[in-house]
Amino acid sequence: MTTLFFVAACLLVVINTVYTYPANTVIGLVILLAGVPVYFLWRRREA
């Protein structure tokens, strides 16, 4: 039950942030997605 409450609270924070600051949310999402190819390149380099 506690985990469900935590997930619901996190979801509400995310929804509120997207609604309140849509430009900042897009910038953060772009930064996050830019790291995905870097992760795979780094992982391949170590293998």
CA dihedral (8, 11, 17, 20) positive or negative: negative
Rounded Cα distance between 39 and 27, Å, is 19
Domain count, the chain: 1
CB 17 within 8 A of CB 25: yes
- Write down the pLDDT at residue 47: 72
Could you list the residue range(s) of the whole structural domain that residue 34 is in?
2-46
- Write down the pLDDT at residue 19: 97
Q: 1-47 pLDDT, tens per residue?
A: 999 999 999 999 999 999 999 999 999 999 999 999 999 999 998 77
Phi, psi of 4 (to 5 degrees): -60, -40
* Confidence (pTM): 0.65
